Structure 1
Amino acid sequence: MTNAISNRNKMNTQDLLDQIAFIKEIDKVKYIQRKTKLFNSDRCENDAEHSWHLALMAIILAEHSNESIDVLKVVKMVLIHDIVEIDAGDVFIYDTAKNYSNTDEERLAANRIFGLLPKNQAEELIAIWEEFEAGETDEAKFAKSMDRLEPLLQNTSNDGGTWKEFGVNYDKVYEKKSVIQEGSKSIWNYAEGLIDESVEKGILKKE
């Protein structure tokens, strides 16, 4: 009995050390700068701020999901979805040189970073990350809606923001943002209105 308790204590200690190592590693997310800027600001947002904002958005806006969802799972998705950028770096959604979608580089990053955790936790978070990337479940669709909505709100608050800075036109914005409707038709109706309004104001150009 004493040996069993001793072994369990050793396992718990190792789990704690692994969890602390992960917690220290993900501090790097705070240093990853995104292209979008804070609301009504010239300062770029970092990945940690982005993920925090999405988590609160998911909680607040969950009632607008097309389907009933597990909100906690959505929160987990948006909190971890960009952790892979510690290794893979941030890819601008409108980048023409590199595909924004999932890459082998990101998968290697997920395995390394989440792999710092005890096996069960690592497997859970990798599975949640993969579910988000696949975008097929109701939770993943809603999480992606949040991920596409926040930069839209930022750019409309910043007189076009990254759209103007990088010469992004209406067609490209509409293509990327229309994903929102897969998670929430009502939020998409609102978002589509913002896009149209941005065209009317001249901060988003049609070609």
Structure 2
Amino acid sequence: MIDMNERLCKQINFVLELDKMKNLYRQTYVLHEDRKENDAEHSWHLAVMALLLSEYADKEIDTVKVMKMVLLHDIVEIDAGDTYCYDSEGNSTKAEREENAAQRIFGLLPHDQKDIFYGLWREFEDCKTNEARFAAVLDRLQPLMLNYTKKGISWKEHDIYKEQVMNRNKDYFGESEELAKLIKSVIVDAASKGWLKI
């Protein structure tokens, strides 16, 4: 039998539960293989982007807090599944499915850490603080850049329109002028190349 205290046991069980994220595949393809990325890869990529791109935030942010949020934001998909951002039917039940998942998964942790992790996840979902809004920009930019670099593969698979992608991003253009300029440019160029429908 393994010797560990109750707190450590809960923490290790949570860590092992997170391994399921490696088998949760998104709609975005990785660049150097013919496969879709998983949630663990996506979250790690966003954390690196937060560290790298925080200088482009137009408002004061706590970069470490942004990194924590993006590392935790998709944990709920272990239970709730990945809901494609352009799936209106799936998005109609997403909030409830993810809240239930958050209660179960963060509930595996010791009480104090449960409150902290759940609070960070909830802050990301509510998207009201500077950190949450900048994290949302990164969460949109990462798949956008992967999709663009892969010549719009996922957009073409799902018959996505330029206007859909613009609408998904426009509420966050005020968080980073530089990243907003990049996002708009990518969308316009992708449409001009026929990767997004017009």
Which of residues 66, 70, 84 is equivalent to 1:78? 70
Rounded to whole Å, the distance in 2 between the matches of 1:77 and 1:22 is 17
In the alignment, is residue 149 of structure 1 matched against residue 141 of structure 2? yes
Match of 2:165 among 165, 169, 173: 173
Task: Give yes or no for the alignment of 1:159 onto 2:142.
Answer: no
Q: Provide Cα deviations, 1:13-60, integer angstroms capped at 9, x if missing partner.
A: 111111001001111011100011012542100000000000000000
Once the 2 structures are TM-superposed, how far is the Cα of residue 96 of structure 1 from its aligned partner? 3.0
**Rounded Cα–Cα distance in structure 1 between residues aligned with 2:175 and 2:127:** 10
Residues 1:48 and 2:43 aligned together: no
Identity of aligned residues (%): 44
Identify the range of structure 1 (87-96 vs 177-186) with the bigger mean alpha-carbon deviation: 177-186
Total equivalences in the alignment: 195
Q: Deviations over 1:115-145 (max 9, x none)?
A: 1111110000101100000000000000000
- Unpaired runs of 5+ residues, structure 2, are none
Q: CA deviation at 1:75?
A: 0.4
Q: Aligned letter for 2:37?
A: E
Distance 2:185 2:127 in 1: 24
Distance, in Å, in 2 between the alignment partners of 1:192 and 1:32 is: 29
Letter of the structure 1 residue corresponding to residue 197 of structure 2:
K
RMSD of the TM alignment (CA)? 1.4
The 8 Å contact of residues 29 and 86 in structure 1, kept in 2 or not, is answered as yes
Structure number, greater radius of gyration: 1
- How many Å apart are 1:200 and its aligned residue? 1.5
Unaligned runs of 5+ in 1: 1-11
Q: In the aligned structure 2, how far is the partner of 1:77 from the partner of 1:101?
A: 22
> Where do 1:1-207 residues align within 5 Å?
13-39=5-31, 41-99=33-91, 102-206=94-198
Q: Tell me the distance in 1 between the aligned counterparts of 2:51 and 2:171.
A: 19
- Residues 47-56 or 152-161, more deviating: 152-161
Choose 99-108 or 139-148, whichever is displaced more: 99-108
**Deviation of the 1:181 alpha carbon:** 1.3
Give the alignment's TM-score, normalised by structure 1. Answer: 0.90
Instruction: Give TM-score, length-normalised by structure 2.
Output: 0.94
CA positional deviation for 1:197: 0.9
Shift of 1:150: 0.5
Q: CA contact under 8 A between 2:83 and 2:94: conserved in structure 1?
A: no
Q: In structure 1, what residue type is equivalent to 2:83?
A: V
Instruction: Tell which deviates more after alignment, 93-102 or 153-162.
Output: 93-102
Q: Which residue of 2 aligns with 1:5?
A: none
Q: Detail structure 1 runs of 4+ shifted over 6 Å in the superposition.
A: none
Kept in 2, the 8 Å contact 1:35–1:45? The answer is yes
